[in-house]
Amino acid sequence: MDQTEKEALDEIVRILEQWSGCPFSHFKKGTLIRRIKRRLILTRKPTFSIYLDYLKMYPVEFQHLFDSLTIKVSSFFRDPEVFEAVEHGVLPLLFNRIKKTGRGQLRTWSVASAKGEEAYSMGILLCEFMKNNAWARDIPVSVIGSDIDSTAVRTARRGIYKREDLAIALTRYPQYFKRIVVEKDELYEVHPALKKIVSFLTFDCTNPEFKSPPGGVFAEYDIILLRNVLIYYDNEIKERIFKRVFECLKPMGFLILGKSEVMPKHMEKYFKTFSRGHKIYLRGDSSP
Ligand SMILES: C[S@@+](CC[C@H](N)C(=O)[O-])C[C@H]1O[C@@H](n2cnc3c(N)ncnc32)[C@H](O)[C@@H]1O
């Protein structure tokens, strides 16, 4: 890449960062270039410089570029074995712990919730646990899903999905979805009882100002799902997120990472491994 192209690429990243507030300059270089090049191909622009001019002339392209970089691929019960470990290992422990102390609520945070699939999946498991264990029914539960993309957050709040998006959720837990037909499309809406415990907000987990979890100053979480988002960022951002997430977990709270996500080496001493295979960790006592 010659100097002009390098400068054009840096400028694209700089103005996109300014437009979106998302720290794309901390994205892994390879992913960043690959994704921008995709937009070059789709808009038939042969160079970064020409694409930069196009971007400035047609600001609507910012949204397309942003969408291309923030990949919203997700699904209900993605990696089902992880959710099974949560259902049979994590939830019984947490509900019992809260019951014993006689106070507190069970709070879950899905840090990069995309269109809501992960947060609603967790909500279903919580509802199912309470349905099957009468003693746990008086424990208040909540799930917060947050994402940097406000359009994805709006979709999550609506909670309307195509049959194929729901995958195993629809066959295993049909009672949580209501079939609706919109202009010949077969869609499914999340049941109001599930919507009641799952809420969404727009939130950038890399923001250096982020000092408290999105639930409020006093919110501390029992479970934090940090899945398939760290993979896009460089080590500096990863460490920042880990430190903050640590602070937002209750002592002995659970952190669940994505399959291809790795905990920074120096953070390992602050967590205990609950299930290495499922990437489930427990917050330890000492803090970084
Ligand atoms: C591949 S999806 C992961 C969804 C879900 N956690 C899962 O594992 O299926 C990645 C999501 O991370 C979001 N994201 C990227 N950077 C983010 C940031 N700085 N703060 C919050 N969300 C972010 C994207 O908008 C996208 O919805």
User: Judging by beta carbons within 10 Å of its beta carbon (0-12, 13-18, 19+), is residue 209 exposed, middle or buried?
Assistant: exposed
Q: Is the CB of 69 under 6 A from ligand 1?
A: no
CA 203, 209, 215: angle at the middle one, nearest 5? Answer: 45
What was the pLDDT predicted at 184? 79
Ligand 1 atom 27 nearest Cα? 114
What is the model's pLDDT at position 213? 66
Check pocket membership of 229 for ligand 1, CB cut-off 6 A: yes
Distance 204 CA to ligand 1 centre (A): 9
Q: Which residue blocks in the chain are alpha helix, DSSP H? A: 3-20, 29-42, 48-57, 60-69, 80-85, 91-101, 117-132, 150-158, 163-166, 168-172, 192-197, 235-248
At 217 the pLDDT is 54
Pairing state between β 177-182 and 198-202: unpaired
Which residues in the chain come in under a pLDDT of 50?
A: none
Say how many Å lie between the first and final Cα of the chain, rounded: 40
Beta bridge partners, 251, equal none
Q: pTM higher than 0.85, yes or no? A: yes
Residue 32 CA to ligand 1 center (angstroms) comes to: 15
How do residues 233-283 score in pLDDT, each as one tens digit?
A: 998 899 888 888 888 999 899 999 999 898 888 888 899 999 999 999 999
Residue 106: per-residue pLDDT: 95
Residue ranges per domain, the chain? 3-69, 80-283
| Cβ atoms of 176 and 191 closer than 8 Å | yes
Ligand 1 centre distance from Cα of residue 163 (Å): 22
Q: Other C-beta atoms within 10 Å of 20: how many?
A: 19
Distance from the CA of 70 to the center of ligand 1, in angstroms? 7
Backbone angles phi, psi at 262, to 5 degrees: -125, 135
Q: According to the model, what pLDDT value does residue 112 have?
A: 95
CATH fold, domain 80-283, is: Rossmann fold (3.40.50)
**Best mutation site among 24, 26, 70 for ligand 1, i.e. most ligand atoms within 8 A of its Cβ?**
70
In the reported structure, the alpha carbon of residue 72 is separated from the centroid of ligand 1 by a whole-number distance in angstroms of 6
The protein residue with its alpha carbon nearest to ligand 1, atom 13, reads 112
